[in-house]
Structure 1
């Protein structure tokens, strides 16, 4: 186990990463200003902490959970090994990569989740769908394969609790992250409308007379990053921008979303910009980042990292429960009695909450960190608790 002989910005940010805290929350945990954490990230090993800060960081490490300490020492050892081998160690989450030539498009697989509460009528589709294994939330579900005009694959998840969710897998090779962000927002409206039309066709003759099939209210994206052209020092910021694309586009006119000037992205990469509320779940064999608007994941090496399927499986259940709890809250806010049919009331939400928030006996450290990051940034636990309290016993 590598010990901390001297805290620099590099080791301090390693600790932040291991504790799964955003800049703001890490600063609050230490009792310091957020700009200090930002300075650590910018200057890395070149910034040696003053004696008082050395003591603060020693105390923070001592109070970490065993899993957090293991993650910290694993990353510290990996950084030390890279430095010994002559590989620059400018950032705690720099990994060996196989980049393309500078200026080449980068490879990304986009996964979009479009959930909507359909309710009882979704039962009509149940016999047509194939049984699927339950995800981390333990929710009973089935799947239908769908033909989608611009996707490599499209799957409609049907949850027994009344949620229908379309999963679109689309392969992209944009030249910049801004290009990807513009594509993302410009296709969202079409994706939502297309999903609503799909459900209307599938439920034709099933919906009550005069009822309108709802369309998804939002889209959640996951990006799996493949080959890229960024230098190692820019890769962590590139992951930040993949997970928080809103900072690269002008969304004032939803019908005409366009990217900000090209130097905006370049400047953010050069300054190692970081979203204050994004949470990392990186390790020695992967880079991951969760935010309110999406997830970015870069597995390295694939045979030892979390599989993308594990990330997708968790996010699918999270979005299904998010849509379900949103439906309950909408009933309450419209003045209706928020009652769910059959077994999908308070007990159902409580059980799902417990399964998602408790560690499993075979869960790895990587999986635990990923689960905590996604749950924290989605705010699902709070929404589930509010929906559970709104439902009658």
Structure 2
């Protein structure tokens, strides 16, 4: 049995991490307020009172053997202990195969009309948005598609298989390719607009402002706490590289990645999601996922479908909020007014009768880390004020 001499916010958050629970789920299981968990995130050195320590002791005792072992290893690393058992359980950087999914959104508004009409209809995703697709024809991606949403947004999706010797190598490739992929996406969308415009004269599409990545971890040698760290690094790779010069991304230095594995590193704002048959981590800049050979497991297609809609709505709400920031009243076509955003918000945030527990945890983790629900509410309010 693992004994924690003194529980602080840091140990409590470590327990939440190994249990792979959201703030709300962790608080509910412990019978405490989510605000308490948030306070631990703001002040990790805060010492828990005896009653709270007893609650945490009980929660730790109720963990599975695998979760308890992961907690023990990461607690030892947190305290700087290197006993033989803990050291043997800590993984190291190693080669692996991942499938990268990049999402590049851009808002076009009414300019999308003729291009949308030329696309192939596609079933609506989790948010219920009407969409059509055209081939992306990316020069190196295994698959590339241009998803066009009737509300005026384009999301380019690139799927690329990568064999890498380390996550540092993957992080360097990721950030270096973002610049070229954004420029390519802008050119590709412009080319499609010209191709499907009646007179062939169109305003060039802006390049997407950002890229969000989803990584599916395929062939690898990690397990237990090592796999947890691997998924954390996949979701938040910025800790491995120097990004001061976007045109010259370089590794932070030799040994940084191995140190992250040795310490059982986890980003404080990343949310693990795990339904028992699969494991993943949602972060601000990316998602990582490790599927299990189980018919109950989430499929990567379910995550991709959610991210497509999330990025489309992020681009749409950002367009509306930018207008507000410029001191103007946002005006949208009636069919895409605040009621449209309200409907999308409800569909994304409400559990469905057929939704599995794994899918719900994944959906909530992605929505929480993306902060999309807050943006949708703000955009709704702005449209309601200017278009009652």
**TM-score strictly above 0.5:** yes
| 2:333 counterpart residue number | 341
SS of equivalent to 1:255: coil
Contact 1:114 1:166 in 2 (8 A): yes
CA drift at 1:390: 1.0
How far, CA to CA, are the matches of 1:93 and 1:310 in structure 2? 32
SS of equivalent to 1:268: helix
How far, CA to CA, are the matches of 1:12 and 1:335 in structure 2? 41
CA drift at 1:150: 1.1
How far, CA to CA, are the matches of 1:155 and 1:192 in structure 2? 14
Are residues 1:171 and 2:161 paired? yes
1:225 corresponds, among 193, 217, 227, to 217
| 2:382 counterpart residue number | 390
Where does the alignment leave 5 or more consecutive residues of structure 2 unmatched? Answer: 28-32, 75-90
CA drift at 1:183: 0.4
1:354 corresponds, among 346, 358, 361, to 346
CA drift at 1:32: 7.0
1:20 corresponds, among 16, 22, 40, to 22
1:43-62 residue pairs with structure 2 within 5 A?
52-57=51-56
How far, CA to CA, are the matches of 1:259 and 1:355 in structure 2? 41
| 1:89 counterpart residue number | 69
CA drift at 1:104: 5.5
Contact 1:93 1:283 in 2 (8 A): no
Are residues 1:145 and 2:132 paired? no
CA drift at 1:138: 0.5
Task: Provide closer, same or farther for how the CA distance between residues 91 and 390 of structure 1 changes in structure 2, counting only shifts above 3 A.
Answer: same
| 1:251 counterpart residue number | 243
How far, CA to CA, are the matches of 1:57 and 1:352 in structure 2? 38
CA drift at 1:161: 0.2
| 2:36 counterpart residue number | 29
Provide the TM-score with structure 2 as the length reference.
0.81
Are residues 1:271 and 2:263 paired? yes
Contact 1:237 1:272 in 2 (8 A): yes
SS of equivalent to 2:274: coil
How far, CA to CA, are the matches of 1:18 and 1:107 in structure 2? 23
SS of equivalent to 2:255: helix
CA drift at 1:283: 3.0
Provide the TM-score with structure 1 as the length reference.
0.80
Task: Provide closer, same or farther for how the CA distance between residues 50 and 383 of structure 1 changes in structure 2, counting only shifts above 3 A.
Answer: closer
How far, CA to CA, are the matches of 2:176 and 2:302 in structure 1? 28
How far, CA to CA, are the matches of 2:175 and 2:345 in structure 1? 31
Are residues 1:118 and 2:108 paired? yes
How far, CA to CA, are the matches of 2:219 and 2:357 in structure 1? 26
1:292 corresponds, among 284, 293, 299, to 284
CA drift at 1:128: 2.2
SS of equivalent to 1:90: helix
Contact 1:121 1:207 in 2 (8 A): no
Contact 1:234 1:269 in 2 (8 A): yes
Aligned Cα root-mean-square deviation (Å): 3.5
CA drift at 1:165: 0.8
| 1:366 counterpart residue number | 358
Are residues 1:235 and 2:227 paired? yes
CA drift at 1:389: 1.0
| 1:180 counterpart residue number | 170
> How many residues are treated as equivalent by the alignment?
355
How far, CA to CA, are the matches of 2:73 and 2:364 in structure 1? 18
